[in-house]
Chains A and B, each alone.
Chain A
Amino acid sequence: MPRPGAVIEVDRNTPPVLYHFGEGIRLEKLPLGARIIYPPDPLEPIAHPERAIKRALAKPLEDDPLKSLLRRGMKLTIAFDDLSLPLPPMAAPDVRQLVMEEVIDMAAEAGIEDLHIIAALGLHRRMTEDELRHIVGDRIFTTFHPDRLYQHDGEDPENNVYIGKTSAGEDVTLNRRAAESDLVIYVNLTLVPMDGGHKSMSTGLASYRGIRAHHNVKTLLGSRSYMNPPDSALHHSCIRQGQLIEDTVRVFHIETTVNNHAFPAIANFMQKRETDWTAQDQAMFLATKQMTDIAPPAFKRNVFHAMRAPYGLTAVHAGQVDAVHDKTLDAVNRQIAVRVEGQTDIVTIGVPYLGPYNVNAPMNPVLVLCMGAGYLFNFYRNKPVLRKGGVLILTHPTRYEFDAVQHPSYIDFYDEVLSDTKDPAEIESKYELRFAEDPWFRQLYRKSHAYHGAHPFYALYWAAHAMEHAGDIIIVGGDREVVHHLGLKCATTLEDAFEMAEQTVGRYPSVTHLRTPPIMLCEVE
C-alpha cells in the first residue's frame, strides 16, 4: 500500500534534506521547527495496461464504444500531447503509444483509409524525429511518418480555421484537418491537474489567435491556481472554447494518468524521503553530488536529459470530455495531493534541471522563473503554502544560458524586454504582439525546432501570480547579474537567503520546504 504524502517537522534527528539545483543537487539542513512536505509514494500501476485501454475504449464514459464510432470511408484524426509531458520523458513504451496502437488497430479493422495523426503542440516547438518516434513508437512512426504523422503548425494560414467567438468573446481556432474530420480522437497524458480536458484541443490544436485568449496576464492572475481547474480562469476560458469546438467537430477523448515514479533506479535516492535513505542512497547522493560539482554543464545536461522515468499507468478513461476529465483529475489527485495545514512566511523549493519547455535544452533564466515561481509555486489548492507577502526561496544556478535552436525568442525577450521592465502587464501590452508576429521567429517556429515568438511571454505570465503574491523571491546559488536582471534577489547559501528573508517577514519566520520533484499538490487548509 503506497504511503500518502507527509508533512514532517524538522527536529534534531531529522536528516538534511535534498534540494534540486538545476543539473545538480544539494543537501541542506533546515532550521528546527521548519516543515518538509513530501509527495505520496508512487501508486501501484495497472498490471495490464493494454487490457485496461481496451476496456476503456469498449466501455467509454457517456459515449458510445469507440468501435461503433468508426466506419469505412470516414475522415479520422488522432491528436496527441507533445513532449512537454510527462517529465522526465517516460521510458518506452509511452502510454500514448499504447493507446494509439489500440486505436489504430480498430481503425485498420474498420477499414478507415483516411487517417491522420497530429502532435498537438500548440505554440511549443516541433519535436525532432527521434522525440516523435519515442512518443509514438517505431511501428506507428514507420507506418505513418511523414505524410500521415505530423506536427500541428499554429502559424500555417492554410491549415488553421476560425471557429468563432465564445460567450466571453474569446476567439476559437482549430487545426483544419481536425475541424474537417468526422471524428477526432484525442490521446492525452495528464501528469498534473492543469493538463487535459478541454484544454487539450483548445490549446494543442489552436493558433496564436486562439491561445492568446487565455494565455494572458489577466487570466493567469485570475487563476488561483491554474493547477486547480475549478478555481482557474485559464480553465474556464478553455472550457468555453472547448465547448465551441465540440459543437463543430465530434471528439472522443482518451485520457491517461501515470504515477509519480519519476526517477530511474540509478537516481532512486531522489525519489525517496530522506528519512528512508539507506547507506546506499547516501553513497549514490555523494557520488552524484561530486559528479555534478565537477562536471561541465553540457556533460551534466546530457546525463540528466538521458534519464527516462519508469512511470506506470494508473488510470485510463475514454469518452465524453467532461466525464473523462473528472475521473482523470480524481486519479491525478490520488497520486499527488498532500494535505497541509496553514501557510508559512517562507517557502523553499529546489528547482530541478527540467521543465516542460526545456526538454533536451538548458533551462534558461526565464524558464527558471517560469518553473520555480510559475509551476512549482502554483501546485496548491485553496491557497498558496506561502502567505501573502512571504518570501519564496528557490535554488538554481540560473546562468545566462540559452538554447539558440529551441529558445531564440527567449534570448531577445531576456535582453530587450526584461531590460526595459519586469511588469507583466506592461510587457504584454508593449511587446507581445511584436514578438508573436516577428517573421523570423515565426519561420523558426514553423520550420525549425523553436518555441513560438510569444512563448517567453507566457513563461513570464505563468510566474505573474507568484511575483504579485510573494514579498520577495530569492534564488540561492544563481548568477547574481542574471538573477537581478529577472527582478529577483540572489543569495549564495540557503542560510544567507533566510537572513535576507527575515528583513521582509520578520524574525523567527515559519519555513516550509516543498520536497519536489516528484510532483505534489498541496491542499492548504
Chain B
Amino acid sequence: MPWYSEGPLTRLGDLAGAALDDVSRVRKGWHWSSPRPHTWPEQGAVVPPPPSDLGWARVEPVRSIRWLIQRALLLPFTEVMVHPKVEGREWVKQLKRPAIFAANHSSHADTSLILYSLTDAARDRTVVAAAADYWFKHPVLGNVVSLFLNTFPFSRTGGAQGQLHSSSELLKSGWNLVLFPEGSRSPDGRIQEFKPGVGFLARETGAPVVPLHIQGAFQVMPRHQRLPVPYPVRVRIGRPMTPEPKEDTRTFTARVEKAVRTLEAEPRKTELQGTWIERWRASTPRELRYGDAR
C-alpha cells in the first residue's frame, strides 16, 4: 500500500477537495444571468411554500441551539430540582395538529415544567406567550429568554387583537402555543379567573386546547422569590378540547378553566375494558386535519 493512501490527512484533503469541487460545480452549473432556454419546461412551484416565520427564534440555526440548551441545561435542571411527575402525556402524543396548552400560572418555573412535560416532538414545535411588558421591557432579556424558551411577546395591556392575530398566525403555521390564560402569576397559588384570549384563539384557528394543571410550582418559586427551591411537582395534562359549533368565546374559556380546575382534583381514570366497540367509542377520535368533513 502506498504510504500516502488512507491516512487521515489524505482523507481530510480528499474531502476538502471534493467539497470544493461540489461548490465549483454548483457555481458554474447554473447561469442565472442568461435567459431561460425555451427548451426547458416552464418554471413552476413544485413544492408548496414553507410556513410563515414570525421571528429569528423560530428559524435555524437558533432552533438547533435551543434544542441543545434545553436538553443540556433546562430539562436536566428541572428534573434534578423538582422531579416532576407527569400524567396524561399520551394526550400530547395523540395530537395531530398544533394545539394551545393552557395552564394555571403561579410561578416562573411553570414554563420549564410545561416544556418538560411535553413530548420531544411537541416541545420542539412549541412557542410560549410571554408578557411583553415584563419580559420584553429590556430587549436583551427578551432575546435571551426567547433563545432558551422560544417565547414571543404577548401584550397584556393594549393592542390585544394584534397580539392574538400574531398568535393565531403562529398556530396556523404549525407551532404549538403555551398560554397562561390567567394573564399573570397567581399571588397566592390559587387559580385566578381565565381571560378570554384562549377561547378567541381556539375559535379563530380551530386548534384544540389542552388543559394543564401544575401543582407545586408555587412552592418552588413564588412571586418575589428570585431562586427556585426543590419541591415535588405534579403536571397533569387533560384531554384536548375544541369549541362546540355554537359555543361563544367566553363560554369556551370558562369550560377550559373548569377543565384545569378539574385536573387539580381529579384522580386518573383506569384503562377502559369491554368489547372493541366500547373501547372504540371511548377512545379519542382523530382531530380532522383538513377541517370539518362531516
Contact = CB atoms under 8 A, between A and B. Distances in A.
A111 B277 contact: yes
B293 A51 contact: yes
Interface string B147-185: 000000000000000000000000000000000000000
B267 interface: no
Interface stretch (A288-296, A363-371, A429-437, A451-459): A288-296
Contact of A27 (B26, B37, B41): B26
Contact of B96 (A11, A93, A285, A290): A93
Contacts of A286: 19, 22-23, 26
Interface string B178-198: 000000000000000000000
B280 A137 contact: no
Interface stretch (B43-51, B66-74, B214-222, B225-233): B43-51
Contact of A275 (B40, B284, B291): B40
B293 A273 contact: no
Nearest to B47: A268
Nearest to A313: B290
A293 B15 CA distance: 8
A51 B288 CA distance: 11
B293 A50 contact: yes
B39 interface: yes
Interface in B241-289: 275-277, 279-281, 283-286, 288-289
B31 interface: yes
B6 interface: no
A15 B29 contact: yes
B119 interface: no
A8 B283 CA distance: 53
A507 interface: no
Given A48-B290, A139-B284, A143-B283, A113 B276 contact: yes
Contacts of B64: none
Interface of B: 15, 18-19, 22-23, 25-26, 29-31, 34, 36-37, 39-44, 46-47, 50, 93-94, 96, 275-277, 279-281, 283-286, 288-291, 293
A413 interface: no
A110 B101 CA distance: 37
A138 B94 CA distance: 7
Contacts of A93: 96, 286, 289
Contacts of A113: 275-277
A148 B280 CA distance: 13
A16 interface: yes
Given A48-B293, A276-B43, A92 B96 contact: yes
Interface residues of A, number: 54
A2 B46 CA distance: 8
B11 to A, nearest CB: 10
6 shortest interchain CB distances as A-B pairs: A50-B293, A6-B41, A51-B293, A15-B29, A16-B29, A272-B46
Contacts of B47: 42, 261, 265, 268, 271-272
Contacts of B22: 27, 286, 289-290
A293 B39 contact: no
Contacts of A108: 277, 280-281
7 contacts: A2-B44, A29-B25, A47-B290, A93-B286, A268-B46, A273-B46, A286-B19
Contacts of B94: 138-139
Given A50-B293, A286-B26, 20 more contacts: A2-B44, A3-B44, A6-B41, A13-B34, A42-B47, A48-B293, A49-B293, A51-B293, A101-B285, A108-B277, A111-B277, A113-B275, A138-B93, A139-B283, A143-B279, A143-B283, A271-B47, A272-B46, A272-B47, A274-B29
B73 to A, nearest CB: 25
